[in-house]
């Protein structure tokens, strides 16, 4: 009899709920194909709700370490779990009217639940092993989700590209973990940190390991120059999945990055800090200027999310308690903003079914007059991207750049400001296009299937984005509480 590690089932209940839900759904669906869509919605949302309930119940409790110390459940983990689950719920709501969902809703939902489970694992992992497992769990499922729109070649293309490049990214990450293991003898963050703190950290194996781990994570967050997959995958994937990736994947990847550099690699800050700084600068500028020349709105926001990743990197670089709080707030706010924006694009795409139009700037001309609510919401989301008050984007930008300025990284804040100015340029192009009077029709468009779900998603995101800007106190408190579990270097 092999003695397995002790498992605190309560601590990992959210993931368990999701996995059980996923497989349960698949099982049920095989017996009740006729009710596939309803079943998917009910079971999917139910599993997510249970997961969220467990997380919320654990919110504020003392951290629990389980699974042979490889998994830690603290408020940061909970925050990620909750956010990711809400994102997934929004994806389900957004998929209601989608033809593919009617046919293959159970697979889609199950994969989505698995993604959430994987993300929860990543968020709480304190070991490269759990990190890798969680990462692959959600990545593999995401590859499929990206390619899920079987009728669209672009979707398949996106899935394949994501698979190839994502695998390289994972390989690089594990490769780096292997080197760190070689240098320190441990896969645990704590063990690595302790070993590095003792011994001199100038060993080239450590350097190599740090570099590769950083690269793997920078790939996941979509920072330059490891961003190449982002625009293509975001553009090709089903729009609700894109929204999920832009919001949830980014949040999780950053939490993983923050945990690793702050918990495992604090001793080699001199190695990762300059890399992150350079990556941040290049990413902010590059992402924004590339977005400036896009004509496809989905792709434009993809590029802008590259820029946003650069911005979030500032939070890690500064890594004071303010900076990390800002980072978490920024990412959480960004998740809802991105989800809302892509939800609007999804509405647009459904309106354009007959014209087979993508969400191009040209195609969107005058659309704002036909769908006033969605378009107005889009304006709010775009302004939140650009960091205008009174949106959550403003508070996020304010806190991140504020901490940068006060901790001696004013130049990064200024780079961020330049990026924001460029950003305004293209966000406004979208607004201008939507409210272009040269092609307008006062006739309201017919209600397309699933519009109710999309409207609900937009409303929820709108509420979060605006409340996060108008009464950000609570969200900031939560972010602060969560980020407190990130060790602060210095």
Q: Which residues contact 385 (CB under 8 A, 6 or more apart)?
A: 301, 304, 308, 337, 341, 393, 423, 427
Please tell me whether residue 62 adopts helix, strand or coil conformation: coil
In the range 368-387, which residues lie near other proteins by CB under 8 A? Answer: 369, 376, 379, 383
Among 39, 86, 121, 163, interactor with other proteins by CB under 8 A: 163
Stretch that binds other proteins, among 53-61, 93-101, 203-211, 335-343 (CB under 8 A): 203-211
Q: Is 256 in the site for other proteins (CB under 8 A)?
A: no
Which is closer to other proteins, CB of 54 or CB of 388?
388
Q: Is 132 in the site for other proteins (CB under 8 A)?
A: yes
Which is closer to other proteins, CB of 52 or CB of 344?
344
Q: Is 465 in the site for other proteins (CB under 8 A)?
A: no
Which is closer to other proteins, CB of 342 or CB of 369?
369
> How would you write 138-196 as a 3-class SS string?
HHHHHHHHHCCCCCCHHHHHHHHHHHHHHHHHHHHHHHHHHHHHHHHCCCEHHHHHHHH
Smallest distance from the beta carbon of 289 to other proteins, in angstroms? 4
Smallest distance from the beta carbon of 431 to other proteins, in angstroms? 7
Q: Is 129 in the site for other proteins (CB under 8 A)?
A: yes
Output phi, psi for 125, to 5 deg: -70, 140
Q: Is 144 in the site for other proteins (CB under 8 A)?
A: yes
Cβ(347)–Cβ(451) under 8 Å? yes
Q: Which residues contact 197 (CB under 8 A, 6 or more apart)?
A: 266, 267
Count CA atoms closer than 13 A to 436's CA, side-chain side.
Answer: 15
Smallest distance from the beta carbon of 138 to other proteins, in angstroms? 12
Count CA atoms closer than 13 A to 177's CA, side-chain side.
Answer: 22
Which is closer to other proteins, CB of 97 or CB of 169?
169
Which is closer to other proteins, CB of 101 or CB of 132?
132
Which residue shows structure tokens 């969107």? Answer: 364
Which is closer to other proteins, CB of 338 or CB of 415?
415
Which is closer to other proteins, CB of 289 or CB of 489?
289
Helix (H) or strand (E) holding 381: helix 372-386
The one-character DSSP state at 408 is T
Angstrom distances, CA of residue 432 to CA of 295, 341, 361, 369 = 13, 16, 9, 12
In the range 263-282, which residues lie near other proteins by CB under 8 A? Answer: 271, 274-275, 278
Q: Is 342 in the site for other proteins (CB under 8 A)?
A: no
Stretch that binds other proteins, among 48-56, 78-86, 90-98, 293-301 (CB under 8 A): 293-301
b/e per residue, 92-121, with b = 16+ CB within 10 A? Answer: bbbbbbbebbeebbbbbbbbbbbbbbbbbb
Which is closer to other proteins, CB of 50 or CB of 476?
476
Among 24, 63, 190, 402, interactor with other proteins by CB under 8 A: 402
Which is closer to other proteins, CB of 167 or CB of 448?
167
Bridge partners (DSSP) listed for residue 71? 66, 125
Q: Is 238 in the site for other proteins (CB under 8 A)?
A: no
Tokens of 260: 């690793």
Among 4, 31, 356, 437, interactor with other proteins by CB under 8 A: 437
Smallest distance from the beta carbon of 53 to other proteins, in angstroms? 26
Among 72, 81, 371, 397, interactor with other proteins by CB under 8 A: 397
Which is closer to other proteins, CB of 50 or CB of 233?
233
Count CA atoms closer than 13 A to 291's CA, side-chain side.
Answer: 34
State how far the Cα of 344 lies from the Cα of 380, in Å rounded to an integer.
11
Among 85, 119, 297, 422, interactor with other proteins by CB under 8 A: 422
State how far the Cα of 412 lies from the Cα of 317, in Å rounded to an integer.
10
Which is closer to other proteins, CB of 28 or CB of 417?
417
In the range 309-338, which residues lie near other proteins by CB under 8 A? Answer: 322, 325
Q: Is 431 in the site for other proteins (CB under 8 A)?
A: yes
Q: Is 154 in the site for other proteins (CB under 8 A)?
A: yes
Q: Is 430 in the site for other proteins (CB under 8 A)?
A: no
Tokens of 228: 């190449």
Stretch that binds other proteins, among 17-25, 33-41, 89-97, 155-163 (CB under 8 A): 155-163
Q: Residue 344's closest CA among 363, 368, 323, 315?
A: 368
Smallest distance from the beta carbon of 446 to other proteins, in angstroms? 18
| Residues near other proteins (CB under 8 A), total | 107
b/e per residue, 340-355, with b = 16+ CB within 10 A? Answer: bbbbbbbbbbbbbeee
In the range 180-199, which residues lie near other proteins by CB under 8 A? Answer: 181-182, 185-187
Smallest distance from the beta carbon of 354 to other proteins, in angstroms? 21
Q: Which residues contact 74 (CB under 8 A, 6 or more apart)?
A: 63, 64, 124, 482, 485
Among 403, 453, 457, 482, interactor with other proteins by CB under 8 A: 403
Which is closer to other proteins, CB of 54 or CB of 329?
329
Which is closer to other proteins, CB of 239 or CB of 403?
403
């Amino acid at each position: 009899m092999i003695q397995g590690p002790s498992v605190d089932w309560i601590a990992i209940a959210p993931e368990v709920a999701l996995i059980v839900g996923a497989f349960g759904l698949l099982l049920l669906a095989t017996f009740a194909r006729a009710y596939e869509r309803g079943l998917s919605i009910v079971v999917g949302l139910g599993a997510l709700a249970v997961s969220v309930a467990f997380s919320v119940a654990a919110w504020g409790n003392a951290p629990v370490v389980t699974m042979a110390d490889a998994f830690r459940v603290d408020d940061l983990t909970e925050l990620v779990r909750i956010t990711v689950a809400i994102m997934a719920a929004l994806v389900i709501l957004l998929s209601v009217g989608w033809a593919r969902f009617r046919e293959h809703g159970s697979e889609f939902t199950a994969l989505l639940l698995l993604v959430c489970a994987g993300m929860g694992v990543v968020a709480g992992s304190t070991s490269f092993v759990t990190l890798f497992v969680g990462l692959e769990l959600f990545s593999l499922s995401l590859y499929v989700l990206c390619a899920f729109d079987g009728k669209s070649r672009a979707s398949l293309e996106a899935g394949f590209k994501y698979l190839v490049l994502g695998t390289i990214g994972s390989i690089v990450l594990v490769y780096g973990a292997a080197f760190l293991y070689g240098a320190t003898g441990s896969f645990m963050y704590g063990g690595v940190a302790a070993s590095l703190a003792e011994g001199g950290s100038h060993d080239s194996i450590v350097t190599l390991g740090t570099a590769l781990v950083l690269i793997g994570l920078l790939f996941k967050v979509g920072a330059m120059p490891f961003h190449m997959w982002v625009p293509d995958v975001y553009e090709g994937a089903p729009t609700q999945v894109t929204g999920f990736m832009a919001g949830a994947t980014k949040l999780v990847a950053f939490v993983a990055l923050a945990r690793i550099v702050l918990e495992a690699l604090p001793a080699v800050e001199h190695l990762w800090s300059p890399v992150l700084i350079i990556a941040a600068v290049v990413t902010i500028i590059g992402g924004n200027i590339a977005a400036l020349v896009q004509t496809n709105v989905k792709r434009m926001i993809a590029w802008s999310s590259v820029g946003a990743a650069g911005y979030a990197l500032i939070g890690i670089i500064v890594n004071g308690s303010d900076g990390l709080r800002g980072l978490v707030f920024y990412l959480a706010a960004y998740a809802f903003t991105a989800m809302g924006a892509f939800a609007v694009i999804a509405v647009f795409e459904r309106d354009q079914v007959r014209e087979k139009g993508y969400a191009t700037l040209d195609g969107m001309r005058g659309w704002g007059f036909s769908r006033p609510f969605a378009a107005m919401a889009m304006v709010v989301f775009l302004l939140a991207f650009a960091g205008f008050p009174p949106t959550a984007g403003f508070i996020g930008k304010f806190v991140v750049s504020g901490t940068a300025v006060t901790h001696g990284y004013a130049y990064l804040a200024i780079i961020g400001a330049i990026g924001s100015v460029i950003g305004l340029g293209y966000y406004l192009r979208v607004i201008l296009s939507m409210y272009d009077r040269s092609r307008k029709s006062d006739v309201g468009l017919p209600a397309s299937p699933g519009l109710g779900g999309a409207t609900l998603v937009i409303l929820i995101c709108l509420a979060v984005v605006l409340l996060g800007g108008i009464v950000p106190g609570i969200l900031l408190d939560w972010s602060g509480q969560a980020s407190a579990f990130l060790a602060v270097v210095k």
